[in-house]
Amino acid sequence: MMKKLIIALFVFFMFNYTAQAQDQLKIGYTNVEYILSLLPEAKSIQKDLEDYQTQLRNQIQSKVEEFQKRASAYQQNGANMTDVARQAEERELQSMQTNITQFQQEAEQSMQKKQVELLKPAYEKIEKAIKDVRKEAGYTHVFSSDVGGAAILLDAREEDNISNLVLKKLGITPPAGN
């Protein structure tokens, strides 16, 4: 009998706690990429990234052109070279090709690092605004509606979308119709 009473009390307290927790739960959501796209510095960040990418692309192109020039000269003159000179030139061409591949990989990593470096202050600014809105509007949780273009939040009430509140907190007037 005592065991049944303890179980009943436990169930009662758990049900009561769950009901109270649901009454206090207020969930909002936002789209960070949408907010980022409307930040004044977004265009500058994008331009800086494009400029950096162009620099890297030009460096790669220069290396490829130098390789092609050297390979063309080898094709034209290779038959007239001594075996030792031909083998040395082939090793040099192979080395140049390896260096181009390595540079391309390093350029990709460098581009990713540059993107993180340039976006970090903007994301920190957005994160602070989201936290401020969450506190001011009484939300207990804020979720991202999508990440990298993939929908995370499949369905929610529009009134729980805090994106425009975050934009206003950042001093940005949300576009009409959003």
Query: Band of the pLDDT at 7, cuts 50, 70, 90?
Result: very low
Note whether residue 58 is domain-resident: yes
Instruction: Note the pLDDT tens digit of each residue in 117-129.
Output: 999 999 999 999 9
Domain range spanning residue 149? Answer: 24-169
Note whether residue 16 is domain-resident: no
pLDDT attached to residue 177: 72
Note whether residue 115 is domain-resident: yes
Q: Are 117 and 73 in contact (CB under 8 A)?
A: no
How crowded is residue 33: how many other Cβ atoms within 10 Å of its Cβ? Answer: 14
pLDDT attached to residue 78: 85
Instruction: Note the pLDDT tens digit of each residue in 79-119.
Output: 899 999 999 999 999 999 999 999 999 999 999 999 999 99
CA distance 133 to 125: 12
Note whether residue 19 is domain-resident: no
Note whether residue 7 is domain-resident: no
Token pair belonging to 143: 């979720």
Q: Nearest to residue 36, comparing CAs of 134, 133, 136, 170?
A: 170
CATH number at residue 102: 3.30.910.20
pLDDT attached to residue 178: 65
Is the Cα torsion angle 119, 122, 126, 131 positive or negative in sign?
Answer: positive
Beta bridge partners of 146: 151
Q: Evaluate if residue 12 carries a pLDDT over 60.
A: no
